[in-house]
Structures are given as structure tokens and as C-alpha cells.
Chains A and B, each alone.
Chain A
Amino acid sequence: MDPFPSLRQLTDGLARGEWSSAELTKAAVQRAERLGGPLNCFITLDEEKAMSAAERADRRLGTVCATPLTGVPLAHKDIFCMEGWRTTCASRMLADFVAPYTATAMAQLEDAGAVTLGKLNMDEFAMGSSTETSCFGPTANPWSLEHSPGGSSGGSAACVAAGITVAASGTDTGGSIRQPAGFCGLAGLKPTYGRVSRYGMIAFASSLDQGGVLARSAEDAALVLSYMAGFDPRDSTSSKHRDPWLEAVPHAGVGELEDGHLTIGLVKEFFADPPAGAPLIDAARRSLEELGLRCIELSLPHIAMAMPAYYVIAGAEASTNLARYDGVRFGHRCADPQSLADLYERSRSEGFGAEVKRRILTGTYALSAGYFDAYYVRAQKIRRLVAQDFAGAFAQADLLLAPTAPGVAFRRGQLMDDPIAMYRQDAYTIPVNLAGLPALSLPCGLQDGLPVGFQLIANHFDERRLLQTGAALQRATDWHELRPSLDWAEAA
């Protein structure tokens, strides 16, 4: 078997009886154990749970109840609550938290028969772009252990890029799926806001958070998304939008590009200061043109203001979303609290890491009396301007093309002392979250041995064109076939 199979290959093999889920799962566990140490991509790896799920899947395979996910080992960002699993959000605050319920998106994957191998490392509470703020230590990039896999879904990216699982869930608040996908040479899909239920996905910034998937191809990402997505009555922001195309993906795949004469808008502002790997992104653009897509240049005039607006909004929402961590009902509690204030302040100060505290304080500032209008309200107004910019762009183009990150993976530790530089990692991804749009990061080659990614952005609920275009591109090119050598594993 190809050590880097596609999800479809696994499914077909399972269906034909070439391998069992138990075999796949056992192999995945072994690979996780072998590569997981240096990568530090798993927070929790549970062979026992995984094997018993695999055995259940094997009984289901061959029956009418089997789905393309039945028996496929997956791993999940440790931000999704799963009943009986420790769910930590990579925070000391939740280091011992065992969720008493399961996130809707995870329940849907498990209902489809997917096997959960374990829970993946991330930046604490998804705040970060390097997977270095985890209280369980940083994750390494399988392409080069000295480099960051990006973040916050860096554990997910490392896991898939190292071939431990074919896909992994992630979440994207300001780029946390796409940037690590870019750094690790993967397809990273951030769906339309409201497409995937947020119930059970531990909140960072509620109006920006969206669950999604990292996989090696657009086709595989679409398949996983089709099981994660759907209206959830437990999430008031979940959309009732029905998408017959997405519902058909499990049996029909994403399909051919239905309308061959799409227009791709190149966002002028994003290329003004050429990102690293610009020639590679340009090659991707040319490949798209060869597929019959037309490229135009267009402008998003307020895009430069997206980052400041984002850090105000995300901080504001986070500052109150994280108020529930008070040492009373669950989570970390300081030893021997002397008073109520002592309980709160010490539990929270011990439980949260530096970046989380920074965000909470930023958000508290933006919401506090006297600053609310100048920061929070203004940021929400800019958010509308950014959303209007996109609406204008989609009047001219079907998809937008942009870099995923300003550069390739940076060295671990390189940005840890410079929060602003770290924040800039998300400059190209953040505007999409402000507008709630779907976006897909795809690999387009290597620079200095490290993957370069670019993203396609679609209008709300237009994942069809996004994924059909991505899949068409990947049928015509082989950037997604590039594999990390993993020579460090042999050395280890």
C-alpha cells in the first residue's frame, strides 16, 4: 500500500476487503507512535478506543450501513469535545477535562463509521499560528522538524502530512486550517460560516470559528466535509442552507468542474508586496487558466484594515468566551484558594498561557467602558466594509485567488517573542473569516524544501465551485503528490 494513500483508496480497499479497518487502524497507531514522538502532534492517542471502533466498523463494512468513511482512521483537533475523551484545547486549564458529550460534527463522523485515533495538538484555545502555545509542547513540521507546522491546527496538519491519517479535522478562526495546510503541503478547507456546527467545538471567537478539514486533496476534504456539515438545532448560528451537491459527494465525489468558464479574481492588495513563493502561486494561476478559467485582477480596498478589526473582534469574543474557565465546575483550580477573587485569579492565571492572556486582555480592553465604540463597534463596522468588498468582488469573479501565508513555514521559536509578527501570519486568511466565506488552501510546490500554499476563496455556500476547481487543478497537476521525506524518522 502507498504509505500516503488517498481517502478514496482506503475506502475502496475496505469495500473490497483488501484490508480491514482493524489493520488500517493498527497501522495508523504504529505510525503515530513512530512519528508522533518527534512531531508531537498527538495530545491523546487511544489505541484501545480506536481498535474497538475499528472492530465495530469492520462489522459494518459490507452491509448497507457502510459509508465511505466507515473504518477509516481519522484524528481530530483537540478542540472538539468527544464523550469519554480528554478534551484539552491544549490548555493547562482543561488538561484533565473529559467531555461528557460529543460535538455534533464529530458525532456525525463517528456515526458514519469513521474511527477516531486520537486528539491532535494545537495552539492553546486555537490562539496562535505555530502550534507553539500548546501546554503539551510544540508540534514540528514533518517537512522539517526545525520548522513550525503553522497553527493553530498544526497537530492536524502534521498528522496528515506525515501520513498517519488521511485527513484530520481542524478549526479556522483566522486561518488556523489554511495556514498549517499551506505550511505542510495539504488541502485545507475552511467552510462557509454556519456550514459545520460549532456545538461541542470549544469556542475561541464565536462569530469567526468554523470547523473544517485538512486532507491531501480537495476530493478527500470534500468527502470529510460532507459528513461534518449540516444544520444543527443546537447551534443558533448553524445554517439551514441545503446543498444537494455536498450531500451527493459521498457517492458521486466532487465531480467535474460544472461550469468551465469561471472567472478568478486576483486580489491586487495581496500581491502588492509579493509573498514568498509568488512564482509558484503564479504557476498555479496559469494551471487554472489552462483549465479554462479566466483570471482578472480586482481590488478589496479595505483589506488592510481586516487584521486590526479581526484582533479586536476575536479578542473581544474570546475574552468572554473564556470567562467560563473559573475553576468552579470543571477545569484547573488553584490550590487552596483564600477567597473567591483568589480562586478566579489564580486558577485562570495558572490555567492560561501567555498568548491566551494577551488575547483576553486585548478583548477586555476593546469592550471596556470608554473604548467600546472606538474599538469594538468600529471593528464591526470595518467588518461590514470588508464583507462588502468581498460582495463586490464576487459580482465580478466566481472565485478569488490569494496567497495562504506571507511565507513558507518559519523556524520554530522564531516568532514566539513577537506577537505582532505572529499575527501577520494570518494577514491573508483573516478577511475570509470576517466575511464568513469558504476558502480552500492548496499546495503549489516547494520553496527551499518547504511547501507553498495558495488559497481559493468562494462566495457563501459555494463550496461546490471551490472544491470542483481544486479537484480539477489537482487532477491536472501533481503538487499535492509531493511528500515529505521523513528522513528524520529513519534517523530516530
Chain B
Amino acid sequence: MSGVPGWEVVIGLEIHVQLATRSKIFSGAANRFGEPPNSLACPVDLGLPGVLPVLNEAPVRMAVKFGLAVGAEICPRSNFDRKNYFYPDLPKGYQISQFEQPVVGAGRLQVRLDNGESLEVGIVRAHLEEDAGKSVHDAYEGETGVDLNRAGTPLLEVVTAPDLRTPEQASAFFRQMHGLVRYLGICDGDLSQGSMRCDVNVSVRPAGQEQLGERAEVKNLNSFRFVEKALHYEIDRQIERRQRGLPVERETRLYDSVQDETRPMRGKEQSDDYRYFPDPDLPPLVIDDAFINAVQDDMPELPWERRRRFLEEYSLGGSAVGSSVELTDRASLTVKELGKADRTINVPGDDRVDKTIAEYDADRLTRDPDIAAYFEAVVAAVRNAKPTVAGGRDQDGREATARQAKLAANWILGELARHLNQEGLGFAECKLPAAALGALIVRMEDQTISGKTAKTLFDALWEGAAAGADGPSAASGLADALKLVDGMIEARGLRQLSDSGELKALVAEVVAAHPQQAEQFRAGRDKVLGFFVGKVMAATGGKANPQQASTLLREALHAPS
């Protein structure tokens, strides 16, 4: 546990963001992942004798975009420096980086924590540099293979102030950064391919002590979970050493996710003397106001702006109670982990579902731009369905919008996220068109299907889409989607029992079959109603409207037998 009483933890992060450019930062070779070794390494990337770096404009634009998003000063004149050390994945024997004068100066980022609070984290600087290649240590006996495809990939290294105090805050910051760079369109955010890597600097000190403790750096963490786990381990290790009167060494460590521990980094027996100096091949980079203004004009909606808009546009106002309160106790969820959560509430169609977009949902919907876009597409599809269902500016319309939005949020963050997660897919790779989910919601809204059968319908849609069936995957327009959904409802007999006469007869049968329970209900045990609803739902194969069923049940149970 990191919350050891009497100790304060201080954490700062360095996050390396691979910029999604077409070509490399200093060469015209392609910036791609997953190609045969050294097939993307041109003479500049190989550091052949005589070659020279030429700066790609795109990484500069992206860095400025990031800088503006975090309210940072853009350095009008920045410099590229050489960081000198020998390693096989560093072809020139130096890395071109920015040491003295980074392109992005001090800024700040508001982090949404899982407890609903916000934390402002200072950004000290962000600078451009080139990535190194990759070493393959286990393929050849006694030898390391070097692949320089990654060499020269543009990186934006973001350095935070030591403003973080817990592993959870650290991973929340990393996640916030992950969302931000994807909103900005400057990084694909693919953590499994190392598109973002986090180095954590952590130290502990006795509570109340001014001076920082000696820090250790844990390098190359590429998941939110690893950031947390590595920090937990490292904090415990440091506190334990301090408690035993042992010093904490200033060193670089690596996290072993299999053993769940950090270990001192070996192999790079390098001196820390990197001999930084201005790269004589690259004169200073001058960024003028016109360039900055052009980037500013090109700014997309930022995650916190979208979050605010979602709350305003889709909420009846204020932070909703219920779901958000209950959910705040959960462990933090990654985008891909969302579906794994035990979503006891938020079951689609459940009557207890809150009708508005709560802060918690807004956080999750806007964390990932693909989720947000998917959500908006679903809501738009539902709105376009027909005037009676569509939301609007008047009170009824706004309520309808909020209700539909909540339904959409629940489906997206619940079932859909769970299915995607099972397949290891992101929202961008989701084969189920938003219109199809929209059509499903339309049919829930107009009482054609019940919440239970909606679930069956969803599974059918998902499987159809996954199988690439003509129907679901092609139903991109709402009209097509409704046609498809309606067809599936009929074909599978999912239509809700709306004939109250039929249902009434069924209710009477159920009540008659369980006299004991009926007696209990009449004696005041209201909870027994749920038992009867369940029986009715079972008897109808889920096609009854649970609300209607409970009304009829109450009537039947209270009626004199």
C-alpha cells in the first residue's frame, strides 16, 4: 500500500508520445509500425557517414498544438541538442533532443480523478526528440539484434512537475494525456505498440519534511495499470528501505510485470554525462505568431470542452446522483477495462437507471475521442428517428434527449465496451455501426422491445456485425438500421407483449400458482413483487414490459382472491 501513514509520496512523470506523422522527424523514411527489421531505416536513420538531419514540420505543428492545449508558452526560438551515449539502438551515438530550449514551456493539465475530483498537474516542459531503434535480446544465441525502423520516429516528451501524490493520480494523469493526444490527433495512442511510454520519478519523505527524498526512476511503462503497479511496488520498497534506515539509491529501474517488481536497470552501464550541446547540423527553430495562430485555428474540441458540452447538452443539469455516487467507489478503469467492470446498475433498460448524463459518464464518454464520437453518432441516430422520440428545446424534448443520451451511454459504456474488450478492440475498430445501436434504442424508447429482449437483440446485432453479415455491418444509415432491427425483432419474436389482456391472464396464472408468496406480499413484504415480475418475465421469455407487468401484478395481488 502506498498510503503508509507518516510518509508522503512525490511523483513526477515523463511521458514519451510518438507523434503520428507520415515520415520521421529528421528523415523522409516512413513512420510506421510492424514492418520487417530495418526496412524503414534510410541512410539518415542508419547514421551513415555524411548524412544530415532535416526537421519535419509536422512534429513541430503537433508539439505546438499540444502546448496550446495545456496553456503553455510556445518558445519562439528553440534548439536541438545532441545527447551523447553509445548504445546499439542509437545509430549516431547521440540522440537529437531538446535540452536547453524546448519548444513547449510550462503549462498545466486538469486531471479528472475517479473520485470525481480534479487535480491540476503542472507541466514543466515538452520537447521534441527522435526515438531510438529496438534491440531484440532473445532471438539469437549470445547476440542482440538491432532493428532501426523506430529510429527517428518523432517523440514529444512531456515532463510534469512533481505534483502527483499517489499511483492512482499518476495513472489518471497518464490516461488524461492519452485522451488528450488522441483528441489532438497527434498520436495513435496504441499503448501495446509503445506509442506512449511513461517514465515515473518517485520519492518518499517523512510527512511534513520540506526536502524531497532521493528519487528513483522507473522507465518505459506502457500501460495505465503498470504505472500504478510499478509505483505501488516502488513506493513500498522505498518506504521499507527508509524505515530500515537504508538509503534510497538514485537510479533507473525497470518494471517487471510478470514478477510485479521493479529492478535496477542493467546493461546500459553508461555514465550520466550525456555531454549535451547544440546540434551543429540544426540551426535554431524559430516559431512565429503566424504559425501559432494557424495551429490555434486548427484546434479540435478538447476533452474537457467536450465533457462540459456533454453535461450541458445531454444532462437535465447538475451532477446526477445515483449512478455516479455508486460508481465512484470502483477501481479506475481503462478504456479497454471498462467492459470488465461489474456494472450492477446501468443495466440497459433497468428502471433504476439514472436518466441523465452524470459526471462519471461524461468523464468516461469523453476520455477517448472514439467513444465520444460513437456516443454522439448513436444519440444523433436516435434523435433523427421520428419527431415523437426526438429531443428538443422544450422541457419534454430536453428530458427525452437526456433519457436517450443516458441509454446510449449505458449501452456504450456497458455492453458495447464489454464486447469490444473481449475482442481486444478499440472503439475505432467497432464493427457495430452507431446507427444500429441507435435503432435499438429507438425501439426501446417506443416500447417495441423490453430491456431484456434489447439485450438479446444487441447480442444478435453484435454477432451479425462481427461476422460481417450484410445487415448489421452495413446498416450505417438509421433507416437501414431500423429496417434491420425491426426485421430481427420480428424474426426472433422479441416484440414486447403489449396486449394487456394477454398479459393480465398470464399474471393471474402466476399469482394463482404461488399463493404463499402472494400472501407474503399482502402481508407487506413488497420485495416479493420482484419475484412475481421475474416469473412473468420468464413466462414471456422476457417479452413482457416489466413496468406493465408490475402494475398488473399489484392489481392482481391486491384484488380480493
Task: Give the complex CA separation of A100 and B43 in angstroms.
Answer: 8
What residues on A are CB-neighbors of B53 within 8 Å? 236
Task: Give the complex CA separation of A324 and B91 in angstroms.
Answer: 6
Interface 9-mer from B12-20, B170-178, B186-194, B275-283: B275-283
User: Would you give the 0/1 interface string for B41-67, flagging 1 where the beta carbon is closer than 8 Å to chain A?
Assistant: 001001111111111000000000000
Task: Give the complex CA separation of A373 and B291 in angstroms.
Answer: 34
A328 touches B50 (CB 8 A): no
B50 touches A99 (CB 8 A): yes
Task: Give the complex CA separation of A198 and B82 in angstroms.
Answer: 19
Task: Give the complex CA separation of A368 and B144 in angstroms.
Answer: 29
Interface residue from B48, B93, B148, B269 paired with A320 (Cβ < 8 Å): B93
Task: Give the complex CA separation of A376 and B280 in angstroms.
Answer: 13
What residues on A are CB-neighbors of B86 within 8 Å? 323, 326, 344
What residues on A are CB-neighbors of B279 within 8 Å? 206
B50 touches A316 (CB 8 A): no
Task: Give the complex CA separation of A207 and B53 in angstroms.
Answer: 14
Specify which of B47, B273, B277, B283 lies most central, judged by the most chain A CB atoms within 10 Å of its CB: B277
User: What's the interface size class on A, roughly?
Assistant: 35 or more
What residues on A are CB-neighbors of B283 within 8 Å? 236-237
Residues 341-361 of A at the B interface (beta carbon under 8 Å): 341, 344
B269 touches A326 (CB 8 A): no
B50 touches A81 (CB 8 A): yes
User: Would you give the 0/1 interface string for A312-346, flagging 1 where the beta carbon is closer than 8 Å to chain B?
Assistant: 00001101101111101111000000001100100
User: Would you give the 0/1 interface string for A367-395, flagging 1 where the beta carbon is closer than 8 Å to chain B?
Assistant: 11100100010000000000000000000
What residues on A are CB-neighbors of B52 within 8 Å? 198-199, 234-237
A329 touches B275 (CB 8 A): no
Question: How far does the Cβ of B141 sit from chain A's closest Cβ, in whole Å?
Answer: 15
Interface residue from B50, B148, B280 paired with A317 (Cβ < 8 Å): B280
B88 touches A206 (CB 8 A): no
User: Would you give the 0/1 interface string for A205-235, flagging 1 where the beta carbon is closer than 8 Å to chain B?
Assistant: 1110000000000000000000000000111
Closest residue of A by beta carbon distance from B55: A236
What residues on B are CB-neighbors of A101 within 8 Å? 43, 48, 51
A89 touches B277 (CB 8 A): no
Task: Give the complex CA separation of A316 and B94 in angstroms.
Answer: 13
Task: Give the complex CA separation of A325 and B46 in angstroms.
Answer: 11
A367 touches B91 (CB 8 A): no
What residues on A are CB-neighbors of B91 within 8 Å? 324, 328-329
What residues on B are CB-neighbors of A367 within 8 Å? 84, 275, 277
Closest residue of B by beta carbon distance from A198: B52
A200 touches B94 (CB 8 A): no
B49 touches A87 (CB 8 A): yes
What residues on B are CB-neighbors of A317 within 8 Å? 280
Is B287 among interface residues, defined by CB-CB distance under 8 A? no
B50 touches A200 (CB 8 A): yes
B280 touches A199 (CB 8 A): no
Known: A323-B84, A324-B47. A207 touches B280 (CB 8 A): yes
Known: A206-B280, A206-B281. A103 touches B47 (CB 8 A): no
Chain B binding site: helix, strand, loop or mixed by DSSP?
loop
Task: Give the complex CA separation of A199 and B52 in angstroms.
Answer: 6
Specify which of B50, B91, B277 lies most central, judged by the most chain A CB atoms within 10 Å of its CB: B50
What residues on A are CB-neighbors of B50 within 8 Å? 80-81, 87, 99, 103, 198-203
What residues on B are CB-neighbors of A202 within 8 Å? 49-50
Is A410 among interface residues, defined by CB-CB distance under 8 A? no
Is A97 among interface residues, defined by CB-CB distance under 8 A? yes
Task: Give the complex CA separation of A326 and B148 in angstroms.
Answer: 15
B51 touches A199 (CB 8 A): yes
What residues on A are CB-neighbors of B281 within 8 Å? 203, 206, 236-237
Interface residue from B43, B92, B273, B280 paired with A323 (Cβ < 8 Å): B92
Task: Give the complex CA separation of A320 and B91 in angstroms.
Answer: 12
Closest residue of A by beta carbon distance from B46: A329
User: Would you give the 0/1 interface string for B270-308, flagging 1 where the beta carbon is closer than 8 Å to chain A?
Assistant: 000101010111110000000000000000000000000
Specify which of A103, A198, A236, A344 lies most central, judged by the most chain B CB atoms within 10 Å of its CB: A236
Is B68 among interface residues, defined by CB-CB distance under 8 A? no
Is A405 among interface residues, defined by CB-CB distance under 8 A? no
User: Would you give the 0/1 interface string for A294-315, flagging 1 where the beta carbon is closer than 8 Å to chain B?
Assistant: 0000000000000000000000
What residues on B are CB-neighbors of A198 within 8 Å? 50, 52
Closest residue of B by beta carbon distance from A340: B88
What residues on A are CB-neighbors of B510 within 8 Å? none
Is A54 among interface residues, defined by CB-CB distance under 8 A? no
What residues on B are CB-neighbors of A103 within 8 Å? 50
Is A169 among interface residues, defined by CB-CB distance under 8 A? no
B49 touches A372 (CB 8 A): no
What residues on B are CB-neighbors of A25 within 8 Å? none
User: Would you give the 0/1 interface string for A158-200, flagging 1 where the beta carbon is closer than 8 Å to chain B?
Assistant: 0000000000000000000000000000000000000000111
Is B146 among interface residues, defined by CB-CB distance under 8 A? yes
Is A94 among interface residues, defined by CB-CB distance under 8 A? yes
Known: A100-B43, A367-B84. A236 touches B51 (CB 8 A): no
Closest residue of A by beta carbon distance from B144: A340
Closest residue of B by beta carbon distance from A365: B275
Known: A326-B93, A367-B275, A368-B273. A320 touches B82 (CB 8 A): yes
Interface residue from A100, A201, A329 paired with B47 (Cβ < 8 Å): A329
Question: How far does the Cβ of B33 sit from chain A's closest Cβ, in whole Å?
Answer: 21
Interface residue from B93, B144, B269 paired with A324 (Cβ < 8 Å): B93
Closest residue of B by beta carbon distance from A100: B43
Known: A81-B50, A237-B281. A364 touches B269 (CB 8 A): no
Interface residue from A89, A320, A344 paired with B94 (Cβ < 8 Å): A320
Closest residue of B by beta carbon distance from A341: B269
Closest residue of B by beta carbon distance from A377: B277
Known: A87-B49, A100-B43, A100-B48. A323 touches B93 (CB 8 A): yes
What residues on B are CB-neighbors of A237 within 8 Å? 52, 280-283
Known: A101-B43, A328-B146, A341-B269. A320 touches B275 (CB 8 A): yes
Closest residue of B by beta carbon distance from A367: B275
Task: Give the complex CA separation of A101 and B48 in angstroms.
Answer: 10
Residues 252-271 of B at the A interface (beta carbon under 8 Å): 269
Closest residue of B by beta carbon distance from A206: B280
What residues on B are CB-neighbors of A236 within 8 Å? 52-55, 281-283
Task: Give the complex CA separation of A202 and B50 in angstroms.
Answer: 4
Question: How far does the Cβ of B95 sit from chain A's closest Cβ, in whole Å?
Answer: 11
Closest residue of B by beta carbon distance from A208: B280
What residues on A are CB-neighbors of B88 within 8 Å? 326, 328, 340
A369 touches B49 (CB 8 A): no
What residues on A are CB-neighbors of B94 within 8 Å? 320, 323
A81 touches B49 (CB 8 A): yes
Residues 91-146 of A at the B interface (beta carbon under 8 Å): 94, 97, 99-101, 103
Task: Give the complex CA separation of A296 and B54 in angstroms.
Answer: 43
Residues 180-231 of B at the A interface (beta carbon under 8 Å): none
What residues on A are CB-neighbors of B282 within 8 Å? 236-237
What residues on A are CB-neighbors of B144 within 8 Å? 340
Q: Which residue numbers of B lie inside 8 Å of A, CB to CB?
A: 43, 46-55, 82, 84, 86, 88, 91-94, 144, 146, 148, 269, 273, 275, 277, 279-283
What are 11 A-B interface contacts by the 8 Å CB criterion?
Answer: A99-B48, A235-B54, A236-B281, A320-B82, A320-B94, A324-B93, A325-B49, A326-B86, A326-B93, A329-B47, A367-B84
Additional 9 contacts, C-beta under 8 A, given A330-B46, A331-B49:
A80-B50, A103-B50, A236-B52, A237-B280, A322-B93, A324-B48, A328-B91, A367-B275, A369-B275
